Amino acid sequence: MLATSAHVDTFTRDNLPPANAWPPLMFDAAVFGSTQPYPERLNAAVELLDATIAKFGADRRAVVFAGGSWTYGELRDRVNRLANMLVDDFGVVPGNRVLLRMPNNEWLVAAWLAVLKTGAVAVTSMPALRATELRTVNEIAGVAVSLVDHRFVADWAEAAIGRGGVVGGGSVDDVLTRLDGHKTEFAAVETSADDVAILAFTSGTTGRPKATMHFHRDMLAVCDTFSAHVLKPTPDDLFVGSPPIGFTFGLGALVLFPMRAGAAMLVLERPTPDALARSVSDYGVTVMSTAPTAYRAMLGLPDVDFTGLRRCVSAGEPLGLATWQAFFDRTGCRIIDGIGSTEMLHIFISCSDDDIRPGATGRPVPGYDACILDDDGNELPAGALGRLAVRGPTGCRYLNDARQANYVQHGWNLTGDTYIRDDDGYYWYQARNDDMIISAGFNIAGPEVEMALLTHPDVLECAVVGAPDEQRTMIVHAFVVLRPGATVEALALQDHCRRTIAAYKAPRVVEFIDALPRTTTGKVQRFRLREMLAR
């Protein structure tokens, strides 16, 4: 059931970039069945939840969690109660921004759907964010109401964002204790397909984060492109993953894709590599999404049974050939590599099954176009090094941010990555645009050096940056995290690299550290490593 609301908060529409600063949005009829595949009025939560129930039934398993599970019907009851609470108790109206500060669990899934049903805008933050970071989120998003897990109240309270409710804990303020007082029926707001559904914040690897604005139809578009044509889930699949649902990689992999397919999700509050690996045998997981670091760590678990795992997705950082091959040899599962971005919502270049070319990111996902551009916006031929540019049914729209002009140029979304396209249309990652190391006239891609280091059995993690050098302009400086108990010396790692890649690419300096600096989404903060070199 849909309901039209008389109350509209125009904040998000008023803060969209000017129309001429948007990338062109394209809906390929060969992929979507029409150039206008989504109706003018569309509420993504209704499509993901109520429409799935209409197709598959209310008794189908939807969410699995520690200690239990919910069917789609049980999930709908809780979503509708939460939606009624947001409106009746907190005064939420369409367009309000609702902050969700929770770990990956069943109540975060229910709350996210409830926010969309009310016509409000979900702002899902990482639980790891501290008060200063939360204040920045609020400054940008203008949060009206918050739902906060009882274990993560302190920083939210210190940030003084505004009114909200505590989820769990059993206190008198626990919103869950009041749910029974609200109806299980809710007339979802009749949102437009191009109403903003979520504000997704970039991970801030280079400074102040940016809020990306994604519409209700975008939630379905990524399901109908990458998920439908590359991942190819079935209603019997059980999904698991490590990325937070507040990270768009996690939102798609753990919520959007399974619900669109009528499948189920396993939500783990502590999705360590060990927990992910054991979920295959413990719960019957069939689809897994995580970062290359986790796949490498799983290879060190000798007693894990991966039988039944049929799909693995890797994103967030480059997937090395050595990791791909070792995981395939161990499990028989071909990891689906992919590149996506918060600005594009999810993965736009990838391949699966026999189309996978190990070491390559893949080819454009059906529904998306890609090319390589030079610095002037001219398209480059196969084999040329340049800037990755993409476009399709989703695209970058920053909320009131002048950096829109950096990401959208010449009618393309510029991801900030340096790539090469081969003659067969496969895209090969080289580096982030600002991570290319120019040393003695040679262009050296840091990730290539990292992948060489990672083939050494004693290396757990590493990151490579360029360090200033008077003679060579820059030199390759490697920060290395060793596996527990390893005692390999820097010279041995340098020699290993020289045997693996061209000698001029080998790190001139290897520095051992206990852990790499990372964002809350797990991305390596190379700018912090450069700061360490500048001290």
By percentage, how much of the chain surpasses pLDDT 70?
96
Q: What is the dihedral of CA 413, 416, 420, 422, to 10 degrees?
A: -30
CATH topology of domain 440-534: GMP Synthetase; Chain A, domain 3 (3.30.300)
In the chain, CATH 3.30.300.30 covers: 440-534
Three-state DSSP state, 421: strand
Contact 98, 73 (CB under 8 A): no
Please tell me what DSSP assigns to residue 147.
Answer: E
Segment 160-181 shows an average pLDDT of 91
pLDDT, one tens digit per residue, over 221-248 is 999 999 999 999 999 999 999 999 999 9
Q: Model confidence at 47, in pLDDT bands (50, 70, 90)?
A: very high
DSSP run (H or E) holding 206:
none
pLDDT, one tens digit per residue, over 185-214 is 999 999 999 999 999 998 654 457 899 999
CATH topology of domain 222-438: Rossmann fold (3.40.50)
Segment 446-450 shows an average pLDDT of 85
> Is domain 39-52+72-218 in CATH 3.40.50.12780, yes or no?
yes
Segment 87-111 shows an average pLDDT of 97
Residue 519 has pLDDT above 60, yes or no: yes
State residue 206's pLDDT score: 47
In the chain, CATH 3.40.50.12780 covers: 39-52+72-218, 222-438
| CA–CA–CA angle 314, 320, 326 (5° rounding) | 85
3-state secondary structure string across 151-205 = HHHHHHHHHCCCCEEEECCCCCCEHHHHHHHCCCCCCEECCECCCEEEEEECCCC
